[in-house]
Structure 1
Amino acid sequence: MKMQQSPGQGKNLFTGYGDGHVLINAQRHDGHLIVTPDSVSAWQVETFETLTEQHFATLLAEQPEVVLFGSGKTLRFPHPRLTAKLAEAGIGVDVMNTAAACRTFNILMAEDRRVVLALLAI
């Protein structure tokens, strides 16, 4: 699906998504990702079932105020122990399917929020 928005000044903006990929500023990215307004990197996760506390704890380095977790095509909630370190640090965690997470990221990023998206491929 193509999203009709144009990138903000040097900031990452989701411009589309499809099976196994997303478009960020019209560039295709495959696989699992960690996305901030300023960076895109691979998220070293194999599957939803193999997620660990450490996968989420690494997001603390970005100093987000909110973490979005895009769980793939379907909405799947990680066990609370996986995101406990984020909660302990006062960081909000919102879980949604990947398509909704991409749209929500764009909104929060446009509001200049310190948002991080941990994204499982669709």
Structure 2
Amino acid sequence: MDLSFEHPGEYLFVRRVGADTVTIVDRDFHRSLLLTPEQVVEDWAVTDASQLSADDVATFVALAPELVLLGTGERQVFPPAAFMAGLLKKGIGVEAMTNGSAARTYSLLAGEGRKVLAAFILPAG
């Protein structure tokens, strides 16, 4: 699904989301990644939402978001409660959704200048 044809502003934007790829600006990513308006963290080791734990919270906190959009693939999957609670205890909101929904929501919030982090989980391989 194409999301944007033109550069929408001064932030990294999602152009396209597929079953096993996310395109940021003009670059395709085939492995899970973390995206903020300023940077892409490549090769995030998570390939399934069930892998997330409270130990992963520090990775997100280091990027200083106010909200995490957890894209769990083509279907919405909720991560373990310990992961969600860990972010909420740090004052960081978190929403689990499909990758397409995460991309659209990220684009809206990044365009407003919000401190948003989109975590896209892509299948292994």
TM-score normalized by the length of structure 2: 0.88
SS at match of 2:16: strand
The AA in structure 1 aligned to 2:35 is: V
Deviation digits for residues 10-39 of structure 1, max 9, x if unmatched? 411011111210111122111100000011
Task: Report the alpha carbon displacement of residue 9 of structure 1 after superposing the two structures with TM.
Answer: 4.2
Equivalents in 2 of 1:56, 1:23: separation in Å? 25
How many percent of aligned residue pairs carry the same amino acid? 30
The AA in structure 1 aligned to 2:102 is: A
Whether the 8 Å contact between 1:48 and 1:120 is mirrored in structure 2 is yes
Q: Which runs of 5+ in 2 are unaligned?
A: none
Q: Which residue of 2 aligns with 1:3?
A: 3
Deviation digits for residues 42-100 of structure 1, max 9, x if unmatched? 21214333222222331001111111100111011112211222101111111111110
Q: Which residue of 2 aligns with 1:28?
A: 28
The AA in structure 2 aligned to 1:26 is: D
Equivalents in 2 of 1:49, 1:81: separation in Å? 11
SS at match of 2:114: coil
Equivalents in 2 of 1:107, 1:87: separation in Å? 22
Deviates more, 1:16-25 or 1:98-107: 16-25
Q: 1:5–1:110: structure 2 CA closer, same or farther, 3 Å change rule? A: farther
Q: Which runs of 5+ in 1 are unaligned?
A: none
Q: Which residue of 1 aligns with 2:103?
A: 102
Query: Equivalences for 1:1-122 in 2 at 5 Å?
Result: 1-42=1-42, 43-121=44-122
SS at match of 2:65: coil
The AA in structure 2 aligned to 1:64 is: P
Equivalents in 1 of 2:111, 2:94: separation in Å? 18
TM-score normalized by the length of structure 1: 0.90
Equivalents in 1 of 2:66, 2:49: separation in Å? 23
